[in-house]
Structure formats: structure tokens, C-alpha cells
Structure 1
Amino acid sequence: MARKKILFTSLLKPVTEPRMYLKLALSVAQTSKYAINIIGFKSKNLPPSAGITFIPLFDFNRLSWRRFTAPIKFTIYLLKVNPDLIVVSSIDFQIVTITYKLLFGSKICYDVQENHSRNIRYGNSLPAAIRHLSAWLVRLKERIFIPFADLIVVAEKCYPDQMPYLKNRPILVLENKYRGTLAEEYFPIKEIKTLHLVYTGTLHPSRGIKEAILFTVRLQKHRACRLTIAGFSAIEGFREQLEDMVAPFPFIELIQEAFPLPYEEIVRHIVAADVVLLPLKPDKSTENKVPTKLYEALALKKPILLQQNPPLERICSRYNAAIAIDFATAPAEKVSEALNTTGFYTKMPGKEVLWAPEGEAFTTAVSQLLN
């Protein structure tokens, strides 16, 4: 009997995006029950992956006119693949996906990776004059799309409360937990001569990266340390700003790309470090969200320097995994002392920080949809 086909798709996410590929797609691919296709943005390197076909259709700037022709290319490949289930990570292909469902009876799973409307409304990516209109239009498109979804997956527990039109729908919460195994041991910081700090992920002014750099410069005066910054920035001018900012400091290594770094490379940097920096400043767009980096640090038993944020502090307090500071104003001498004297990981994290149980829940939900 022919295997049923599942198509994962996103317009601006690369085909190897960690949640879409490494977590959702690989979870169902491991059952060997399905033929998996992933349509998305081009990726720097395509890994060999048995049972998964990558279709990197898109390659353009976010505001390019070619974005408006993307639904045509998507429609052509949608008809070629002829999927039994479409897992949608953005609503850019809303009309095409709904039409395909009505004509051919395919199932739809909407993976809500972000609260896009809230991000637009409270972010600074658009001029204030059009921010609220854009946020309203995104929310309207989601309200239209949601009733056609057979399953809704959300990446954050807070999304159903922030997006009330998701309620009374079949919702599965799958948080972006660590896709890997737990580290076997924790190595005490006080025994380390030169402390290796790491920041990984998106390089953006709102993520607190500048504050992390300036904090490291202050800390260096009281404790031998070095900082590795590994991530990507979609803001061309900001990349140059960071290069100029770190140039005077030989103890800061900047690894930045115009594309997201491979997930395996991100994990390697965290494994090699002694302390993970999470300087993300809480605001309305990030309220009650849990960054993937937090789960990665917990699973790998890395002490965390965390920007003060009560919801995240509560998670870390279960294991005594973090010191909460204000990166912009924290006295470096006191932080250095706290790093030496704090007994980190008095309780060890378990499977609650791992992706494996989330992947099993997704696989079960997919099986129920297609059987």
C-alpha cells in the first residue's frame, strides 16, 4: 500500500528550519509510514535525510515583489505532491491551501510558531502608521483560515489566551524543547579558569545582544572570560554595527550569517560553552514565551545568565539553573561572585525539557488524522 503523503510548508522559513524539519517532520518520518515533503525558503546546506524530500522554492528578500508570485509556485508543487496532509507554518498560502482542501479533501494542520499579529503590533519592524493595520489584517487572515484546520498546533502555552479565536478548536501544545538527549553531568563554574560565555540565535536589537556584549566587557575586568556570538541577522546594517562593536575586544568571537545557522552548529556552540546568555528583554511581543535556548541550556546543564523575566525565572528556579540580572545595569563584580558561589543544578532536568514526548504527541495526532 502506498504511503500517505505529508507536505510541510512555510514561505519565509528555510526548508531545514529546526521546528518544521528537525522536530515535526523528522518525528513523523521516523515511523516510516509517510512520504514527507518540505517546501520552504532556500537553505545553505540540505542534509541527506531518508524519507524526506526538500523543495527549496523561495529565494528573495522579505519585501520583494517575488513574494507575491510565491503562491503560484506553491500551487504547482502542491498539485505535483498531492498530499494527504498539509502542515502549514504560515498563512501566506491561505487561499491555495483552503481551495486544495475543498477540491481534494486533504487535511490541514496549522502550526502556530509565532503570534504574528502580536509581533507586528508591538514590534518595530514596520512604521507605526501601518503597524496596527498590518496586525489587524494578519489576525483577519488567521480567523478565516482557522475553521478549515483539522488540527492546530501551537508552540507556546500562552497562544490560546493571546489568540482567543483558537479556543474551541482542536489544539495541541508542542513547545520548542530540546531535540537531543540530556547531558550526563554538570561541571562547576568555580573550577573553570577562563569562563566561556555563549549567545546563539537571532541577532536583533530587541534580543539584547548589544547589552550582552557590553556586560561581557564589564565582566572581563573582574573575571577571565570570553564570549562567542553565533547567529544570523536579517538586518544588513545591524550586522556591520555588531562587527564594529566587537572589533576592539579580542575575547569576543562573532560568527554571524545572513541565513540561520544549522541547528547542529548552534548546539555545538552551547555544548562548548560554560554559561549561556539569555539577554532577551521582555516586552509585549515576547510576553510569557519560552525561548528554545532556555530548554537547550537546561537539557545540556549549562548555567544561565538570564535577563530578569519572572516566567522564565520560575522555570529555571526548579533546577537552580540561572542567575537573573539586568544585563544593562548589573554590577559585573557581583555577578562574577555569584557565578562562583551559586550551586547550579541542585535538581537535574528530566524529559520535561526534551522534544521527544512532544514529537510522540504530534506523531499520534497525525496518525489519528490520516487513519
Structure 2
Amino acid sequence: MPKEKIAIISLLKPVDDIRSYHKLAKSIAKSCPLPIHLIGYPSKAQHSSSDTIIFHPSKNYSRLSLPRFIQPWVVFKKLLKLRPKLVIINSPELLPVTIVCQIIFGTKTVYDIQENYYRNLWHQQIYPPVVKHLFAWGIRLIETASAPFISHFILAEKCYANELPFLRNRYTVLENKALKPDTTPIIREGKTKETRLLFSGTISENTGVKTAIELVKILNQPHLHLEVIGHCSNRTLYEELLQIDHQWLSLNISLTPLPYREIQAAISRADVGVVSYRTNPSNVHCMPTKVYEYAANGLAMLYETGSYWSPFIQAEGKGLALDFNKPEREMTLAFLTEVKQQPATPSAQALWVFEESKLMNVIKQLLN
């Protein structure tokens, strides 16, 4: 009898994606004896497969290329060879593929919903209006038609439970909380004159990278330094950012996802994190992953007044609420000076360990 397996698959996220690999796969591997096969986009980091976790990086392809659109067929052929007992996917394009596998050899499918794709496409200015509306309706049609075949849904945001009509109470919320820091967060005692601000994660206009840069311009202090680090999938924005030349700005951005250890290192050396999202109907009730990451490392935050994440920061971290369209300069500078004098106070409630037990309950139920 073939050995039972688990497969975790993505199309656009790297094979060592922080959620798929560092959170889901590693958590499952702690108590589940089945080998876990990770299928995804190639990573910049080097990983060696083990008896427990096996990596299957795809070939390089761009977001809107022909190889990307035939990748579900490539994944299908891989699944026919692996014949996993359980498949976890986070790309709607893979839903038809896993349904066919379910019919052929009875695999169970878990759909890890990390975005409300319908709302994202509808409200964000990524594609022309007609195109984005067609894409949005197409993805919603695929999700709705596939829903009866899905064994369980994992939701990265609480709000998806109310936004997605096809769930029918077959879901578990696993928020994108932070991994426990590898090292004790730095004690930030103001020994250097420089105050290090950080903007990390997804680099786009919607996540507020331009707003963060503009804020430091407004503050206009020689001791301030802003580090921008993360994945920028928009080539036009990527090239625009690289043209910015300021002594107080350092960029570590890439058209492909960066290894997570580079993000962790940036957080550990920062004094303050900038959370400057542009809110719209697609993200107004979503919690930025960076809020959990900053709080878990005891990093103070500058964030938008009245944002969904305000209560969490007020309860579990420290920060200053701003109107990024018209920030109060003197108050902000006073806050940054104060932060330099205080030790880091990490938040335990921001850690992934609280989600891990919920994940394992789902996996045990599906495998039994």
C-alpha cells in the first residue's frame, strides 16, 4: 500500500512561504507522522528535504505568464504521482485540480483562504475595471462551485466568515500570527542617535509604502532612518522606488519573495514599525501580519487612527495613532524619542502558538 502523504500547494507563494512552510507544515510535522510535500514557487533560500518535509519548487514564471496559467496542470501531474491523503491549497486556480484528484483517488481538500479574492480584485486598482470585474466573478464562481467538494476551510481573517457565503460552518480561523522570535528582542535604550523605522512585508501602494516614505519626509529629522524591505510584485512601483535617493532611506525589495529570515532580521534591528495601509472595502476588517510580527518582537508602531488593528495595538503593544494624511509632526517626534528610551515588551498574544492547536484539531479530524 502506498505511504500516506500530505501536500501543501501554492502557485505564487514560494515553496518555503512563511504560512505554508514555517507555520502549517512545521506545526503539522510536530505530531503527525505523515510526510509533508510542499509545492510552490522557487525560493531564494536553500532548503534540504527531510523524511518529514519534502520541497518541490516549480520553475520560475511571472505572475501573468503562460507558464503560470498552465501550472495547475503541472501540479495535477505531481498529485497523480504523490496521491496524497490530504491536500491544503491557497490558490483558487487549484480547486478544480484537487476536485479531480478527489474523484480519482479520494484525497481530502482543505482550502486555506488567505485573501477574499473577489473583494480584492473588485476594489483594488490592479487591473482595468472590466478585466478586474470579470476576474472577480470568475474566481467567485470557481470557489462557489467547488465548495461542496472541500472538506474544510481555513480562514486567515475572522471577517471572511461573514464575507464568504459558501463556507457553511465548515471553517476554522487561523490568523497570521507571528512565529516566536529566534532571539530575544533587542533592548532599545537609545544608545545610538539614529531612530530606525521599518516598513516590511508586501510592498505596494495599497500597503502604504509611499505613505511611509512621505511620513519620514514630513518629519524631516537627520536622526531618522527608514528601512523598506519585502516583496514588490509590481515592476513599475519596484523601479520607481529604486529611483528614490535619500540618505535616510534604505531599500531591500525584490520582485520575488525574500527569505523570511531577512524580514526577521530587519524587525530585530528596528525601533518603530510603520503600519500605513490604505484601507478599502477589501481590507478594512483584515489584520496586517506585520502587526503581529511587530508586537511579538516588542516593536512600537505608528498606525492609522481608527484602523481595525488599533484595539490590538492598544491592548498588546505600544504605538501612536496618526492621520497619515496630516500627521502631527511634533507629537510624532516626541513619541519616537520616548520609544528609544524604553525596553521592548513582546506580546505573547501575537504568537502563532495560539493558532497551532486549532490547526492540529482540524488535521486530526480529517486524517481519522
Determine the C-alpha separation between the residues in 1 that align with 2:97 and 2:24: 22
Q: Given that residues 319 and 348 in structure 1 are in contact (C-alpha distance below 8 angstroms), is that contact kept between their aligned partners in structure 2?
A: no
Please, what TM-score do these two structures have when normalized by structure 1?
0.92
Aligned partner of 1:322 in structure 2 is 319
Decide which of 271, 275, 286 is 1:274's aligned counterpart: 271
Deviation at 1:369, TM superposition (A): 0.9
Deviation at 1:190, TM superposition (A): 6.1
Map of 1:7-156 to 2, 5 A cutoff?
7-31=7-31, 33-50=33-50, 51-156=52-157
Deviation at 1:102, TM superposition (A): 1.6
* Percent identity between the two aligned chains: 32
Deviation at 1:240, TM superposition (A): 1.7
Moved over 4 A (4+): 181-192, 341-350
- Asked if 1:369 is matched to 2:366, the reply is yes
Q: Given that residues 29 and 36 in structure 1 are in contact (C-alpha distance below 8 angstroms), is that contact kept between their aligned partners in structure 2?
A: yes
Q: For residues 234-270 of structure 1, give each alpha carbon's deviation from its aligned partner in whole angstroms, at most 9, with x where no partner exists.
A: 111211211222x1x1121111111111111101100
Where 2:39 maps in the other structure, the secondary structure is: strand
Aligned partner of 1:244 in structure 2 is 243
Q: Given that residues 319 and 344 in structure 1 are in contact (C-alpha distance below 8 angstroms), is that contact kept between their aligned partners in structure 2?
A: no
Determine the C-alpha separation between the residues in 2 that align with 1:109 and 1:229: 34
- Asked if 1:235 is matched to 2:238, the reply is no
Q: Given that residues 109 and 152 in structure 1 are in contact (C-alpha distance below 8 angstroms), is that contact kept between their aligned partners in structure 2?
A: yes
Q: Given that residues 229 and 255 in structure 1 are in contact (C-alpha distance below 8 angstroms), is that contact kept between their aligned partners in structure 2?
A: yes
Amino acid paired to 2:351: L
Deviation at 1:309, TM superposition (A): 3.8
Determine the C-alpha separation between the residues in 1 that align with 2:70 and 2:187: 52
Deviation at 1:185, TM superposition (A): 6.7
Aligned partner of 1:226 in structure 2 is 225
Determine the C-alpha separation between the residues in 1 that align with 2:263 and 2:344: 25
Q: Given that residues 49 and 55 in structure 2 are in contact (C-alpha distance below 8 angstroms), is that contact kept between their aligned partners in structure 1?
A: no
Q: Given that residues 3 and 33 in structure 1 are in contact (C-alpha distance below 8 angstroms), is that contact kept between their aligned partners in structure 2?
A: no
Deviation at 1:67, TM superposition (A): 2.7
Determine the C-alpha separation between the residues in 2 that align with 1:19 and 1:345: 31
Determine the C-alpha separation between the residues in 2 that align with 1:349 and 1:250: 30
Distance 1:78 1:267, change over 3 A: same
Amino acid paired to 1:285: S
Which stretch of the first structure deviates more once superposed, 297-306 or 64-73? Answer: 64-73
Q: Given that residues 297 and 345 in structure 2 are in contact (C-alpha distance below 8 angstroms), is that contact kept between their aligned partners in structure 1?
A: no
Deviation at 1:48, TM superposition (A): 2.8
How many equivalent pairs are there?
367
Where 2:109 maps in the other structure, the secondary structure is: strand
Unaligned runs of 5+ in 2: none
Q: For residues 121-152 of structure 1, give each alpha carbon's deviation from its aligned partner in whole angstroms, at most 9, with x where no partner exists.
A: 00111101222222111111101111111111
Deviation at 1:189, TM superposition (A): 6.4
Determine the C-alpha separation between the residues in 2 that align with 1:54 and 1:343: 42
Where 1:318 maps in the other structure, the secondary structure is: helix
Q: Given that residues 320 and 347 in structure 1 are in contact (C-alpha distance below 8 angstroms), is that contact kept between their aligned partners in structure 2?
A: no
Q: For residues 340-367 of structure 1, give each alpha carbon's deviation from its aligned partner in whole angstroms, at most 9, with x where no partner exists.
A: 3579999955432110121222122112
Determine the C-alpha separation between the residues in 1 that align with 2:208 and 2:189: 24
Amino acid paired to 1:155: A
Distance 1:68 1:227, change over 3 A: closer
Deviation at 1:101, TM superposition (A): 0.5
What is the RMSD computed on CA atoms of the aligned residues?
2.4
Please, what TM-score do these two structures have when normalized by structure 2?
0.93
Q: For residues 35-75 of structure 1, give each alpha carbon's deviation from its aligned partner in whole angstroms, at most 9, with x where no partner exists.
A: 11011112222323532111112422222122332222112
Q: Given that residues 212 and 274 in structure 2 are in contact (C-alpha distance below 8 angstroms), is that contact kept between their aligned partners in structure 1?
A: yes
Q: Given that residues 320 and 346 in structure 1 are in contact (C-alpha distance below 8 angstroms), is that contact kept between their aligned partners in structure 2?
A: no
Q: Given that residues 197 and 273 in structure 1 are in contact (C-alpha distance below 8 angstroms), is that contact kept between their aligned partners in structure 2?
A: yes
Deviation at 1:76, TM superposition (A): 1.3
Q: Given that residues 197 and 277 in structure 1 are in contact (C-alpha distance below 8 angstroms), is that contact kept between their aligned partners in structure 2?
A: yes
Unaligned runs of 5+ in 1: none
Which stretch of the first structure deviates more once superposed, 187-196 or 139-148? Answer: 187-196
Deviation at 1:184, TM superposition (A): 5.6
Determine the C-alpha separation between the residues in 1 that align with 2:348 and 2:328: 35
Which stretch of the first structure deviates more once superposed, 13-22 or 60-69? Answer: 60-69
Determine the C-alpha separation between the residues in 1 that align with 2:194 and 2:328: 19
Q: For residues 190-244 of structure 1, give each alpha carbon's deviation from its aligned partner in whole angstroms, at most 9, with x where no partner exists.
A: 66521111111111122211121121123233x6211111112111121121122
